[in-house]
Structure 1
Amino acid sequence: MMESTSMIEAKLRTDRMTLGAYASDASIFRRVPAAVIEPESVDDVVAAVAYAAERGWDVTVRGGGTSVAGNAIGEGLVIDLSRRFNRILEIDTDSRTARIQPGVVCDDLRNALAPYGLTYGPDPSTHSRCTVGGMIANNACGSHSLAWGTAADNLVELTVLRADGSLVTLQRGGTSDSALTADLRRLRDEWIREFRVELGRFPRQVSGYGLHHLLDENGFDTAKAFAGSEGTLGIIVEAVVKTVPVPSHKALAVFAFTDIFSAAAAAPSTRRSGIATSEGMGGDLLDALRQSQGQDAGALLPGVGTAGGWLYCEATGDSREEAHTRATQLISEFESDPGCSVVDAVVVEDPREMRELWTIRESAAGLVTRLPDGGEAWPSWEDSSVPPGNLAGYLRDLYALLDNHGLRGIPFGHFGEGCVHIRISFDLGTEAGLETFRAFMTDAATAVARHGGSLSGEHGDGRARSELLSLMYSDRTLSSFRRVKEIYDPGRRMNPGLLVDPEPFDRGVRPGPGQRTHEFLPIHSFSDDGGSMVNAVNRCVGVGLCRSQDGAMCPSFQVTGDEVHSTRGRARILSEMFRGEVYPEALSSDDVKESLDLCLSCHACASECPVNVDMSVYKSEFLHQYYRGRRRPGAHYSMGWLPLTSFLLHAVPGAARMVNTLLGIGVVRNLVMKLGGLDASRSMITFANSSFQAVGRRRRHSSPGAGEGGVPGRVVLWPDTFTNHMDGQVAQDAQLVLSAMGYEVMVPSGFVCCGLTWHSTGQLTTAKKVIRHTLDRMEPWLDGETRIVVLEPSCASMLTEEAPRLMPEDVRASALAEQIVTLGDVVAEHKQACMRDHRLTWPFGEIQGSALTQVHCHERSRRAHGGTESALRLLGVDESTVETGCCGLAGNWGFEPGHADLSRDLAERELFPRIRGLDKDAYVLADGFSCRTQIREGFGGGKNGVHLAQLLRRALIRTEMSP
């Protein structure tokens, strides 16, 4: 055992960063663990459980940590199976099964099955990051349970580690351990009446243990009976699951109803062959969606403006016609039924549009944690379910309970299965609020039992509802739960406090009293969060989309796979910082600073997180507080003050040329990089011989009579630091392009800056001074009409998003933000103007070819790429985009010591491989200076990124050269 002990101790994570990140999951609860381990093999799991026994620790198993019931946290050893114990061991197409390790992510399994025309049936909304082992442990279901059932229904066999260190196989007909099999048969025989009468009454009855699967008529299936045990009976170390054929064709019928009760009443009639989903949403969900994603969100939904609820019904078929017919038949039935309050309906068959609609539904768990008025809403009464025919009545009672307790919530869920998800406006930060919370939860449990329902319809009872099981089950049934716990885990070490001997459901609430011990007055306004950074951090309820490998969030997690490096992990650490228990030094904590170190400030979370967590802003606020009265890292001075030093350098004639010459000397370069606190493996920044401001004023183009007689008028070309002082050709090309369209191009003089580099390094007081100085210089153009063209996406983002939040008292900051446009926007708008007014000139010819675009992460975050996309289309360029977000350099971040390797790994996710696969004549479009720098370094100048302005300039030249 000594060898195993030594091995396990080397793998244990007991640092405070890790403990803080694992203190919560997607629930309202917090439990700080003693240690975390990420095993790589069954032997590791066995040794870890033995080690925990030696230390007297309880054991909690965790997958993706997306549990909303608090069953993936604990105060002993947390075993995280998601990072390294996640292999697909075998796919058997003959038996249509897959043998897997429990840490396999649901979508990874589905992607592996896709080439065989198969999929894994259960698909909860967290399918991009939840693990199959966790799904089995919580008996998760998902949207398609109408067709394919729960995780238990799709289970063939489990290999389980018991608390005593023994491994046992569970399957239909018994177990590999004769003594265990006998114990389970005696259990079944003693409680056979209760199992038949109280358990398994309807498909979504998930609360408690699924012991009805031990009945002979159910095949004495010990694997299915283990599903939904929430880690309280043992640890799944291997699973064999069923797979199902992917439907040949699908059509999505979306119904809009007058109210949510009508949608609930209609849902039972959708339970029929060929209808795979029956998903419902409350009308207020659209308001929450638009608050998060913008007013255009939800445009595909029918009945917008009149509907109070929606139902998604996915029809399947062996042919397109069969699927379409099933969908339209459902519409015809509903529209001809006088008792069915359908406002509108639509059938969607385009895969992109179907995906867009499903994204709304799948984002609901995060979206509804913020009510349309910005108020907080929390899980716990999260997964209740009733027999589908009782759903409308139950929902009416639930709404009445909310009113009685002065609470609000937006329901959604699996209406065809009678399952409702809802986040509720509990006040968990005060003792009075917790009293209301307890009263509501008790009343709601009584109500769902009255409707013949279940406290949980998926995801388990956990800490959220286990205490309330006595309101749903008889004493005899509860005693059977205690007995099965004794059989598997007599020492009660496996995830204690759940299901048996439950903890009070209001104990250890994360946003509860004490969370604000170290709250401070932030520099940003946080107007959507009541001026509180604690409230902003509490936006993260842990749905874990930042753990997905899809999309742009979160880059560092996508490479490292470390929970600490996820947006959620950082939010948990910040929450613990405010509480002051794990990090008593609070704002002076080196652990908190280190946890934020790999945040690239890419802003992906600000748009891709369903509730718009913006970790880059939280990082800036923390760094501002942490470095008060401290010496900062060299990069904060060399990179943070780069805009001012660049301006001063160009103020001295010939200085830039001299500096470039000196920096070309290896010894000097290395010394400057070292003194500047920069990573010497990165290339040194070089400066243009003259600033664009100087060149632009000499080459200023204006059109006679600008603004009159059909001439477009004037624009201001923003001289950002990068195009002004380093890559001036981009700005010069933009000036020529704008002039060719007929604009009078104004170039501000003097020092103007958005403050980005000070903001990203947490020098917020200086950032505000810089922005105020800039607003003074820009005031003549702040007329609400003059368009200000910003070429650098990070500067545009800073001016439109961060500056108004830093300067809420200065109306000029908001005015400037409203006038910011991209070059692509101007070009696209000019084309429309030319079509309306033939006196205007369209000066561009077509550029034949294709382009791969590295959309700057800040541009992507504020959804500002549409103008560029339109401009490229007008030039005849076939564009594809890098989907993984940040290029990896991320401004000053990529130049800071210790970041270079990860920076390059980030580029290797997609950007660099895509460039290598391009035709030699294809363009690589990168409007961000950092992006172009990363590409140049990665390819040694062999493949350079170009700005849209440069591409437009080439189109101008071709037009001028054409006969």
Structure 2
Amino acid sequence: MEILPVALDAAAAMRSRLRTDMTTRAAYVSDASIFRRVPAAVLEVRSEEDITHALAYAQSEGLAVTGRGGGTSVAGNAIGEGLVLDTSRYFNKILDIDPVARTARIQPGVVCDKLRDAAAEFGLTYGPDPSTHSRCTVGGMVANNACGSHSLAWGTAADNVESVKVMFADGTTATLGTTGTDSHELNVALKKLRDANLATLRTELGRFPRQVSGYGLHHLLPENGFNTARAFAGTEGTCGIITELTVKLVEKPRATALAVLAFETVFDAAAAAATMRRPGVTTAEGMGGDLLDALRSRPGQELAGSDLPGLGGGYANGVEKAGGWLFCETAGETPETARAVADALVSEYLDAKSAGAIDAVVVTEHAAARKLWRIREASAGIVTRLPDGGEAWPSWEDSAVPPEHLADYLRDLYTLMDKHGLRGIPFGHFGEGCVHVRISFTLGTEEGVAVFRSFMEAAAKTVAGYGGSLSGEHGDGRARSELLGTMYSGAAMGAFRDFKNVFDPTGLFNPGVLIDPERIDDRLRPGPGQRNFELSPVHALSRDKGSLLNGVNRCVGVGLCRSDEGAMCPSFQGTGDEVDSTRGRARVLSEMFRGESLPSAYKSEEVKDALDLCLSCKACASECPVNVDMATYKSEFLHRFYEKRLRPMAHYTMGWLPMLTRILHAIPGGASATNAMLRLTPVEKLVKKLGGIEPTRTMITFAPESLQRWFAKRPTSNSAAGSTVVLWPDSFNNHLDTSPGKAAVEVLEALGYTVIIPEDFVCCGLTWHSTGQLDAARKVIGHTLKVMEPLLEAGYPVIGLEPSCTVMLGHEITELVPGDPRAAALAAAVVPFGDLVAEHLPADGKPSAVWPFGTLDAGAVSQVHCHERSIGDHSGTAKVLASVGINEREIETGCCGLAGNWGFEPGHAELSRTLGERELFPAIRGRAEGDLVLADGFSCRTQISEGTDAKGMHLAQVLAAARLDANEL
């Protein structure tokens, strides 16, 4: 066998990892912008050598090259029709941190927060911190010259770069530093360009800190030290591929405080922000009052932002509530000095006679400050839905003016929106004159696109009139590059072109951006043609006007689903693959509706593949800033995909589990006989194979008798003479593990309730819903409503034990059968078990006749079910656990990894166990002796028993034990 040369072997290895499948390409069609470009291939870069071979491959195939980090750009500069080089998944190592020099040497795919966490060990941090800091990459930040809320103190990404190693089209590299480059030829070319344009660079560039549009050629000036690293920052991938960076680190403030000032209008907030550049003030972030209205229009967020000042009313000059806020973080050597600076700000602006603050609050406790900051950081997602539910889009997203002109510029911007019949909600870095706004463009029609272009052209003239910049931190990209001639002279544009040609004379890198730009209205993702395959959903989708595409379009692409922070998105956290993120799936679904790259539409195997690893955990429905509900979209797709098709066997065995287990328990001795047979290894293997069940999973077992039958045979309790409640016999507690149900009956009766369990078959339809069998789910729900009708008419509360079923009853069934008043009645009647028990908590915490539980005094690892965490509310359960002496430690990573039928389907076991190993399994293995393991969800308890030696307990079992004798645990 011939041995390939090393270089050729590496090139072959690179080519073998090129992703050219349509599922991947569809996931990469956009970033966080409104633009759509279908790439020819995607490479997840693993090394500098990969990039060398990728560039050679691209040129041999006639493909352009686009670099991409976290894909959170709102300007469309991280997408392209050629080869996309994604550095975020593998090319993301922190190579060295020098605490003395206060620098970090890193690969470009390092996420901002990962660098900040690593630097924190030395009391340092990375200064730039965009609102996407939990998922954007530092390479992308430097490429776009990103800034963030602390730029008032620490500047832009360009201000914080020491050196950049760049690879060019021919595979050669150069390191650009603070006083030139390590290439004599490059130095000569750049100095020649600079010297030919001295007057232009000195008069048109670098006029104020947030002038980010175009290339930063003023950094090449002699008085600026011929800083080639800073000049390269903000080139948006048009001049080469960054392979390594050295960035500055800054001392982390020893103490901080947060002053939030409320103003009558957003214009007053903008005017005040211009005066905030002063010692000790590190941020001056602003937002308009409409942003809070938009947040409060989200389900479950009706009281969000209640800690903000200025909402109480009764202020001077007849002001009813604030119309704008400033978030001003202050820093000091001690908490007292940081607080003193914040207090001084508040005093100054509350005492102001004209356009002063109407109210203010100062926060020093970290958790309280984070709660307020999350409102501002979620703005980019929140404002993509206006308070009335209308869509709003980026593109005029990032403009900036000298701060002293911001208030007047905002007024003009509002006037311009009114003239074009548009609305938008402003927020941003007011202290530096940078304003973000998402605007209600109607991009799905040619007429709407014409209005979009007209507005963009007028807005460019407006900002230029204030000596401002089209872009204040995100780069120009496809969103604004065409308009650069509005703010720059022909001489400046010529200098930009010469700069591009020095680095990339063949135009390989990111064509269409900055130089020879594409039109600002060219190939818009939500533009005309996106609705070629609109389909009628089974769900009402009441928040999205009955349109599944409207639901998909909620995803603008801010990428919170790519973060390790929180519970969203577990499959992405497990794989790191863009396709497995909520955003990636939304992009694939968007392509499905367009019907160009995926002409089979809702019969597309590519779409099915993209949705395959979605656990339907519902985390995105709450944690996504715009409440993308991928679990529902997946159900709708599977419903249509398998229409008139044979389904996977798992859909029949797991999807129809409620009916199958009911039949099994209708046969005397059937459950016990089945369990005995399944203990025989050959039988178990055969059943798994025939049933389409993952072979490495342990088969579930069935209760000897159902909870319904046990309850029907049970003598009526004489002690229960109070209110009547219906205990919901969900399939898991009814047929598989009846222990929690039996404990719940005992606990409810101990609290004085008369308990009813329906004798007939009732089901929320969860397993049919999660497998996309929506017609069957609706029929099951219809039968259930008929059985429950007399109990609902009697006004009995319906107590849920299984969180997934409780959420299904309380939230989903009204979307599946929206015209049935019984569904609304059932949803209103549902009460989680923990919430009902919490209503009986004694005020003094002591046992009483109405609180018959003792104290267990135990620690506990608690796996809150993902549906309860996302759609429900765990607070009632938490209060009850605390009342019986349980010190609960919640697992923060969300879904346990089993997710009902999903974890039992073939091909899912490895990821399922990986997700368990994130936090859940290690926490259980490392628990103290005597600590309990809590899990109200049957799937969670199943995952725990497979992955550890522990057995999870339901809250009902804990309370039953507390009522008897704590020592029995």
Q: TM-score, normalised by structure 1?
A: 0.98
Q: Tell me, yes or no, if structure 1 residue 109 matches structure 2 residue 129.
A: no
Which residue of 817, 823, 830 corresponds with 1:820?
A: 830
Moved more, 297-306 or 43-52: 297-306
Residue aligning to 1:778: 788
Deviations 1:852-891 (A, max 9, x none): 1101001001141111101011111111100001111110
Distance, in Å, in 2 between the alignment partners of 1:838 and 1:299 is: 35
| Contact persistence 2:847–2:853 (CA under 8 A) | no
Of 303, 307, 315, the match for 1:296 = 303
| CA displacement, residues 409-456 of structure 1 (integer Å, 9 cap, x when unaligned) | 111000000000010000000000000000000111111111111000
RMSD of aligned alpha carbons: 1.6
How far is 1:681 from its partner? Answer: 1.2
- Per the alignment, residue 774 of structure 2 pairs with 764
Shift of 1:9: 1.5
Cα offset, 1:559, TM superposition: 1.2
Distance in 1 separating the partners of 2:331 and 2:717: 61
Q: Mapping of 1:365-514 within 5 angstroms?
A: 365-514=380-529
> Partners of 1:938 and 1:220 in 2: how far apart?
58
Identity across the alignment (%)? 61
Question: Quick check: 1:60–1:231 contact (8 Å CA) kept in 2?
Answer: yes
Q: What's the counterpart of residue 16 of structure 1?
A: 22
Which 5+ residue runs of structure 2 have no aligned equivalent?
1-6, 313-320
Q: Does 1:524 align with 2:539?
A: yes
Q: 2:930 aligns with which of 901, 921, 924?
A: 921
- Counterpart check, 1:606 vs 2:621: yes
- Where 1:116 maps in the other structure, the secondary structure is coil
SS at match of 1:270: coil
1:328 to 336, 339, 343: 343
Q: Which residue of 1 aligns with 2:595?
A: 580
Distance 1:814 1:910 in 2: 37
Partner amino acid, structure 1, of 2:841: K
1:278–1:416 Cα contact (<8 Å) kept: yes
Aligned to 1:908: 917
The reply to whether residue 866 of structure 1 matches residue 872 of structure 2 is: no
- Residue of structure 1 in register with 2:805 after alignment: 795
One of 580, 583, 598 as aligned partner of 1:568: 583
Aligned partner of 1:719 in structure 2 is 729
Give the Å deviation of 1:6. Answer: 2.1
| TM-fit CA distance, 1:140 | 0.2
Supply the AA of the counterpart residue of 1:541: V
- Which of these residues, 941, 957, 963, is aligned with residue 964 of structure 2? 957
Q: Is the 8 A contact 1:843 1:959 kept in 2?
A: no
**Structure 2: distance between partners of 1:551 and 1:705:** 42
Deviates more, 1:438-447 or 1:160-169: 160-169
Map of 1:615 onto structure 2: 630
Q: CA deviation at 1:572?
A: 0.3
In the alignment, the residues of structure 1 paired with residue 57 and residue 11 of structure 2 have an alpha-carbon distance, to the nearest angstrom, of 6
Q: CA deviation at 1:781?
A: 2.3
Distance 1:839 1:703 in 2: 19
Shift of 1:954: 0.5
2:245 equivalent to 1:239: yes
Which SS does the other structure have where 2:565 is aligned?
A: coil
Q: Which amino acid aligns with 2:308?
A: L
Counterpart CA distance in 1 for 2:85 and 2:767 is 40
* 1:217 CA displacement: 1.0
Residue 192 in structure 1 maps to residue 198 in structure 2 = yes
Once residues 414 and 799 of structure 2 are traced to their aligned partners in structure 1, the CA distance between those partners, rounded to angstroms, is 50
Q: Is 1:539 paired with 2:554?
A: yes
* Alignment partners' CA distance in 2, 1:960 and 1:670: 40
Paired with 1:786 and 1:261, the residues of 2 have a C-alpha distance of 52
Query: Matches of residues 564-963 of structure 1 in structure 2 within 5 Å?
Result: 564-699=579-714, 701=716, 706=721, 711=722, 713-783=723-793, 785-831=795-841, 841-939=850-948, 942-958=949-965
- Give, in whole Å, the separation in 2 of the partners of 1:837 and 1:530: 50
SS of the equivalent of 2:165 reads: strand
- Between the aligned partners of 1:849 and 1:828, the Cα distance in structure 2 is 19
User: How far did residue 784 of structure 1 move?
Assistant: 8.6
Contact 1:250 1:349 in 2 (8 A): yes
Deviation at 1:704, TM superposition (A): 6.7
- Note closer, same or farther for the CA distance 1:961–1:64 as it changes in structure 2 (3 Å cut): closer
Task: Give secondary structure in 1 for the equivalent of 2:839.
Answer: helix
The residue type equivalent to 2:814 in the other structure is P
Once the 2 structures are TM-superposed, how far is the Cα of residue 320 of structure 1 from its aligned partner? Answer: 1.1
Report the equivalent of 1:264. 270
1:285 aligns with 2:291: yes
Number of equivalenced pairs: 954
Superposed displacement of residue 297, structure 1: 1.5
Contact 1:121 1:144 in 2 (8 A): yes
Aligned to 1:215: 221
Cα distance change on mapping 1:700 and 1:234 into 2, 3 Å: farther
d(CA) in 1 for partners of 2:703, 2:177: 71
**Contact 2:802–2:938 (CA under 8 A) maintained in structure 1:** yes
For 1:617 and 1:451, the matched residues in 2 are separated by 47
What is the CA-CA distance between 1:840 and the residue it aligns to?
Answer: 5.4
Cα offsets for 1:78-132 (capped at 9, x unmatched) = 0001111000000001100000000000000001111110000000000000000
Residues 186/885 of structure 1: CA separation in 2 closer, same or farther (3 Å cut): same
- Structure 1: how far apart are the matches of 2:341 and 2:558? 34
Q: Secondary structure, in 3 states, of the residue corresponding to 1:312?
A: strand
Q: How far is 1:827 from its partner?
A: 1.3
Contact 1:851 1:922 in 2 (8 A): yes
Structure 1's consecutive aligned runs of 4 or more residues displaced over 6 angstroms after TM superposition are 834-839, 959-962
Mapped to 2, the partners of 1:389 and 1:702 lie a distance apart of 75
2:286/2:325 contact within 8 Å kept: yes
Show the counterpart of 2:317: none
2:324 paired with 1:309 = yes
Q: How many Å separate the matches in 2 of 1:7 and 1:170?
A: 30
Shift of 1:2: 4.4
- Counterpart position of 2:64: 58
The match for 2:566 is: 551
Q: Deviations over 1:713-735 (max 9, x none)?
A: 12110000000111111100000
Quote the Cα distance in structure 2 between the aligned partners of 1:624 and 1:692: 31
Inter-CA distance 256–322: structure 2 relative to 1 (3 Å threshold): same
* C-alpha distance in 1 between matches for 2:686 and 2:937: 27
Is contact 1:169–1:176 with CA below 8 Å preserved after alignment?
Answer: yes
Contact 2:63 2:83 in 1 (8 A): yes
CA–CA distance in 2 between the matches of 1:204 and 1:783? 63
- Verify the 8 A CA contact 1:701 1:745 in the aligned structure 2: no
Alignment equivalent of 1:131, drawn from 114, 137, 144: 137
Match of 1:94 in 2: 100
Give 3-state SS (helix, strand or coil) of 2:841's partner.
Answer: helix
Flag the 1:703–1:478 CA change in 2: closer, same or farther, 3 A: farther
Which residue is equivalent to 1:350? Answer: 365
Contact 1:39 1:45 in 2 (8 A): yes
Give me the whole-angstrom Cα distance separating, in 2, the residues matched to 1:58 and 1:836: 68
TM-score, normalised relative to structure 2:
0.97
Deviation at residue 920 of structure 1 after TM alignment: 2.2
Secondary structure, in 3 states, of the residue corresponding to 2:259? strand
Aligned equivalents of 1:599, 1:803: Cα separation in 2: 21
1:773-823 residue CA offsets vs partner (Å, 9 max, x unmatched) = 111111122249532110000101111221111111112112211111111
